[in-house]
Amino acid sequence: MRRWTALPVALVLVGLGSAVTPAAAATGTATVQCESGWGSLDKAGAARTDDYRSMTGIRTGTHPCFDRMVVDVPGSSPAAPVAYRIGYTDSPIGTTTDDRQIPVAGGKVLTVVIGAHTTDADWNPTYPMRTGERLPGLDFTGYPTFVEARGAGSHAGETRIGLGVRARLPYRVLQLDNRLVIDVAHTWGTTG
């Protein structure tokens, strides 16, 4: 009896091992093809509206071809986009309310201006950004492109962020449901 119960378990384990091994081997040898043609010139989208929009979070990630920043703006979508202006500059960047300059680490800085507040309509904070300080909860350790992100103020329906990157690199902006996505390529080439 024991031989029959042990044999099916052994066959299942051997079968699982053989199913996992080719997939693991394939990922180590695959070449990643990265998109090209994003460019590095200023980008803008949607006109400002009278709609009161609030940012509720910012998160980042790194991918084989690019580093990504996602800004959560509930209620935005491709049909109802959030306004933005994004472009390269040198550090420091100016704030939204005064002539104060905010230093941002990196070879170049993407100035990100989003048509959304960091508070709700009753002035309750929706995103804890502080002018001049690093954005909360972001750690760029191990990122090939992103270096640092600092808040540069939120005023009159616009929030400004300085995103420090390694160098002037191609980037794209995507408006998705409830979020604005900024991808900055690791290189100017077409393969990762």
Read off the pLDDT of residues 128-174 as tens digits, 9 standing for 90 and up.
888 888 999 999 999 999 999 998 888 878 889 999 999 999 999 99
The residues facing 191 across adjacent strands are 33
Does residue 53 share a domain with residue 112? yes
Candidate from 26-30, 119-123, 187-191 with smallest mean pLDDT: 26-30
**What pLDDT, on the 0 to 100 scale, is given for residue 51?**
73
Tell me the C-alpha distance between 172 and 122, whole Å: 33
**What pLDDT, on the 0 to 100 scale, is given for residue 12?**
37
Sheet containing 43-45, strands listed edge to edge, beginning at the edge strand earlier in sequence: 43-45, 84-89, 108-114, 158-165, 146-155
Bond before 92 cis per omega within 30 degrees: yes
Does residue 97 share a domain with residue 62? yes
38 is a domain residue: no
- Name the 3-class secondary structure at 56: coil
Q: What pTM value is reported for the model?
A: 0.78
Does residue 178 share a domain with residue 102? yes
Residue 146 structure tokens: 């992103």
Does residue 90 share a domain with residue 120? yes
- Please tell me the total count of domains within the chain: 2
Per residue in 18-68, pLDDT tens?
333 333 344 455 677 887 789 999 999 877 666 788 899 999 999 999 999
Tell me the C-alpha distance between 76 and 60, whole Å: 19
How open is the CA angle 25-30-34, to the nearest 5 degrees?
155
85 is a domain residue: yes
Judge whether 134 and 161 are in contact, CB under 8 Å: no
- Domain of residue 15 covers 1-30
